[in-house]
Structure 1
Amino acid sequence: MATTSTTTKLSVLCCSFISSPLVDSPPSLAFFSPIPRFLTVRIATSFRSSSRFPATKIRKSSLAAVMFPENSVLSDVCAFGVTSIVAFSCLGFWGEIGKRGIFDQKLIRKLVHINIGLVFMLCWPLFSSGIQGALFASLVPGLNIVRMLLLGLGVYHDEGTIKSMSRHGDRRELLKGPLYYVLSITSACIYYWKSSPIAIAVICNLCAGDGMADIVGRRFGTEKLPYNKNKSFAGSIGMATAGFLASVAYMYYFASFGYIEDSGGMILRFLVISIASALVESLPISTDIDDNLTISLTSALAGFLLF
């Protein structure tokens, strides 16, 4: 009987050892573990740390800048109102500068070109993240499209706006470059919105890049490009640099709200897109068509291929 009892106890102990995990074995069975507890913990930790599949970086939640998070429609309506006031205040400011003749008309036109799109994009975090927010935001440049049409067609007259947005003070010029400019920004807003780096690339190269190309080119552009005597090395370099720096700045800006993730790879892609946009802008065909269109299309296409 004693032998049978001993055999039964050993069988129970062996079964318990086999069915229990190595690391979390009860203290009473630690003696039977073929690997000491501290070694199993160390081995498990080493295996996890040396895995070739690192933990996925969790995207931080968007830091809502919306005014009324509990009511997205009301919030977007208010954001539309605030953004409209900001945008049209900027236009009014440059219009007054144009009327008073404080700066050269060509310089004012390019300052408006740089300023309006970038200021508009600064207001994007005020809107909700879905298509509703994109549509409400697009109403701001959309109203400006109507305004360009009315001014260009002569339905009403605004001397300051015409001077600040045209090359030669002709209202009909608003139906070309300025109209394409606003259409490009509106399209980027609706189609890509704030969670896409392509929207950043399109607007930054169109606004900051193209605007600085003209300013830098006029001041320092003595060395002309061999394939286009109307463009200079300085202007093209200025465009690529300004478009790239603005893109990186807005990447960090939107990343701070959690809409995108900043990375070195994204910065490199922005550089490639800005260089490609500057190259296309320097071609004679950009002047023949309109650089507002060619820059926007190039940035969007390059962004589509890279992102």
Structure 2
Amino acid sequence: MATTLLPRAAALTARRFKRGLLFLVMLLLGVIMLYPLYYMVDSSLRTSAQYQSGSGHSLASWHALFEALPVGQEMANSALITIAALAIIVAVSTSAGFGFAKLRYRGSGAVVAAIIACLMVPVQSIILPEFANLSQAGLVNNYSSAILVYAALGTPFATFLMTVYFRELPDELIEAALLDGLSYRSIFVRIALPMARPAIAAVVVLQFIQIWDDLLVGLLFLQTPEHRTITTGLGVLAAGRVTSLPVLMAGATLSALPAVAVYLLLQRHLVRGLTMGIGK
């Protein structure tokens, strides 16, 4: 009896040791990833003198930020551009993904391969031709230019993800709906879209963070002060009028809050969308 219990106790001890080691590793990774956020928030609550001395806290840097930038307008610009681009990305990717997955036609595989190939093209190699084309069309320095560029950059990945996700829907379900008299449009709206909520949430989270935090497109296509996003405003601020690190950290904290909030609200759907889509 004692000889039987010894291996079990050893196995239990080894399992507990592995769990404890895993917990310590995850804790270390969590500290490493959260420390920059803590440093950013803590620095924003100091003046330049307090930051240099390493002691004391104040809201002076936040007041200086709101005096140096039209924060409310730039946050509103960011929200408008991000939401509009997301609406286009979701509308195009869901309909295209359903079509590629369930309405296959001759050459559809080549079209999907071309979309996947678009993911391999560096943004830096196409951003200048896009700027030249939109400039000739008179769309530079207004919201529509940034919205169109963000939608064009985000749609290939979103379409790929939605295509893979919709392929996991049983064909029998589509056939049963057709026998019940539903059209493909009704199947898409009433069946496919509700079942694809996790994948749509994954697209929204990933693209929201990408668009909200982007600087390159904003600097090129939104050069007038009244159209700048919060990220572009901070970039201009860092390059010229304000060199105070605590003020810049206050702006970075404010800019990061919406992306963090969206991620926290949709993180469960994000995991489901990625594991049920690309994971398969």
TM range (shorter): under 0.3
- TM-score, structure 2 as length reference: 0.25
Higher-helix-fraction structure = 2
- TM-score, structure 1 as length reference: 0.24
- Bigger relative contact order, structure 1 or 2 (CA pairs below 8 A, ≥6 apart): 2
